[in-house]
Structure 1
């Protein structure tokens, strides 16, 4: 049996990263008690970090399992990515698009596997269309944060540099182009006013960065005025980072500890626990009808400790471990997960870890149990059916059973990374 690893989990979800002016040292300035294991747009695949390993279940038809096969039947039991376990590699962050996965190890190296049609896995064309074993994307760069869009990938280094790779038809690469396939690209620091970046974020088809002076930048598809600019058309494609200047009164970029978005909106969390959003009004939890855009950042919720936003909505954990959701309620399984205003949800047990997908979430409690809510396609919530699930969720016994077969019958999953 593999010994339990002790892992320091560093993520933009829980930490504000500040780079000292005279060094490249990253300082952790705030931390949540809640672990967000994976931040993904995966639609049919379940994934988590457990004991420093990557575990995958559900749809694995595009090399998502990472064990040397392109196709693993979705009805097969959950399995860990043996490449990392066999090579003694501990994973501390996961991010993913629809069908690709990237991982950050404890040494600051970035790996990728899965669908690679836009080079979103490998950052080049040498790995083929579906790398079925993790390939090394960034090595010896001291990466501290990763994120992903639908078919794009992002990384932030300890020294404050931002790398992009993957699909860029909406300007997501920040390389001045609108090309589908893009190799690994370092965004010139001059586009961030010649300052190091200290916080990274992603949306469905765009990216975000905040430099050490507290200046906020966005690039990619500025749909529905998501960057707080009154645009004449629904879509404006920002192929270079532009500065987002209309922050709320009294709020500086230095106050922001998390920034991200989805399809048509931007949301950020401040160190004081306040959440603000702009863009498509029906997505940001303020009860607005579809078709109305919000240009000035609007207050959504107070006393929030942890925030995660994807596609059409957000999930937040407050300072008392209350779980809140908001977002679109029409289409797929959105109404199972979200509400048009910030709504507190009932869940089972005491939260210890959450994994997020495009239209679903998976949460773990202190009893070692795991539950799924939302879109169930790909057998994410059952090895037999694809049914969508309402709150408080469906227990995923088959995931726990698979982990105990590897770590031993007394192992309690979900208690950390």
Structure 2
């Protein structure tokens, strides 16, 4: 049995403070804190970080398994990415687009694998269309945070530089162009008012950054006032644009998480308040479809952790209550969300959760995993693609695969 790796984890609520303090890239925490193991736009694939390893199941026909086989069947047993285990590398963060995956190791290096048609995996043409073994994208840059869009990747270094690579037809690269295929690009610091960046966020077709002065920036598809500018059209911001319409009493220095979906922006403050702007029906306020919110409104308070993807958000409050909200009209899977912030019933005591495009996988302290939402790719069952409502379907086939590697007494889901 492999010994448990020492990879500690901290809630993203404190991450910006760590970067500001110029700390090391390790993520520190205790099991009493619920962790977001992965925040992805994966649509058919299940993924998590467990024991410092990357585990993948469900659809793997674009190289997602990371095992050297480009087209690996979705019905195969869940498996860890042996590449990292063989190198003795612990993974501390995961992010993914629709079909590509990037990972941050304990040394601050970034790796990518999966679909690479826009260079969203490798930051260049290396590895071809479907690199099936992890490719080193950023080395010796001391990366502390990674994020993704649908087909785009982002990385933040300890020194405060932001890198982008991948699809950029909507300005997601922040390189001044609307071009589909883009190699690795470092955004000039002048676009962040010549200040180092301390926090980044990913949107469906957009990116975000906050500098050490608390100034907030967004780039990419600013649809339906997602950045707070009053318009209903697609406005493609090809360079970072400063977002200045924060609510009274809220500074960018207070923001500890920022992300965007399709047509909205959401951020969490250190006091536990969540604010949103953009397409109103995605914001959990009971607003009708088509009503735009141009000044961020408070959605909910007392929140410890949050993850927002595509058309909705999942949040954990300070009492371990689990809340969801997002699109119900126009979403194929409204059972995940709620037109208003809705508290969900779940099984056991929460330990961590993984967020996909329109699915959620959560883990409890008894080592059980459950899936909710879009079931395609057999990620909730090796024999079914059925969609699942709360409180979820138990993923015992994933847990059993982990125990097969780590031993029968191993309890999955208890941190990284």
TM range (shorter): over 0.9
Conservation of the 8 A alpha-carbon contact between 1:333 and 1:374:
no
SS at match of 1:249: coil
Equivalent residue number for residue 115 of structure 1: 115
Equivalent residue number for residue 58 of structure 1: 58
Equivalent residue number for residue 379 of structure 2: 380
State the distance in 1 between where 2:27 and 2:284 align: 28
State the distance in 1 between where 2:34 and 2:128 align: 37
State the distance in 1 between where 2:188 and 2:10 align: 24
State the distance in 1 between where 2:26 and 2:97 align: 27
Taking a change above 3 Å as real, the CA distance of residues 29 and 359 of structure 1, as seen in their structure-2 partners, is: closer
Q: What does 1:31-50 correspond to in 2, within 5 Å?
A: 33-50=33-50
Taking a change above 3 Å as real, the CA distance of residues 66 and 142 of structure 1, as seen in their structure-2 partners, is: same
- Displacement, 1:106? 0.2
Conservation of the 8 A alpha-carbon contact between 2:284 and 2:299:
yes
State the distance in 2 between where 1:25 and 1:195 align: 18
State the distance in 1 between where 2:26 and 2:90 align: 20
What do residues 181-235 of structure 1 show as CA deviations (whole Å, max 9, x unaligned)? 000000000000000000000100000000000000000000000000113x511
Taking a change above 3 Å as real, the CA distance of residues 225 and 331 of structure 1, as seen in their structure-2 partners, is: closer
TM-score (norm: length of structure 1): 0.97
Conservation of the 8 A alpha-carbon contact between 1:18 and 1:212:
no
Equivalent residue number for residue 288 of structure 1: 287
Equivalent residue number for residue 398 of structure 1: 397
- Displacement, 1:336? 1.5
State the distance in 2 between where 1:350 and 1:14 align: 22
Q: What does 1:237-256 correspond to in 2, within 5 Å?
A: 237-256=236-255
State the distance in 2 between where 1:9 and 1:102 align: 18
Conservation of the 8 A alpha-carbon contact between 1:10 and 1:145:
no
Structure 1: stretches of 5+ with no match in the other structure: none
State the distance in 1 between where 2:14 and 2:313 align: 15
Q: What does 1:22-37 correspond to in 2, within 5 Å?
A: 24-25=22-23, 33-37=33-37
Equivalent residue number for residue 414 of structure 1: 413
Equivalent residue number for residue 187 of structure 1: 187
- Displacement, 1:16? 2.4
- Displacement, 1:50? 0.4
Q: What does 1:17-416 correspond to in 2, within 5 Å?
A: 17=17, 19=19, 24-25=22-23, 33-231=33-231, 233-331=232-330, 333-416=332-415
Conservation of the 8 A alpha-carbon contact between 2:285 and 2:340:
yes
Taking a change above 3 Å as real, the CA distance of residues 332 and 376 of structure 1, as seen in their structure-2 partners, is: farther
State the distance in 1 between where 2:40 and 2:27 align: 24
TM-score (norm: length of structure 2): 0.97
- Displacement, 1:334? 2.6
- Displacement, 1:24? 4.5
Taking a change above 3 Å as real, the CA distance of residues 206 and 11 of structure 1, as seen in their structure-2 partners, is: farther
Conservation of the 8 A alpha-carbon contact between 2:175 and 2:239:
yes
Alignment RMSD, CA only? 1.7
Structure 2: stretches of 5+ with no match in the other structure: none
SS at match of 1:300: strand
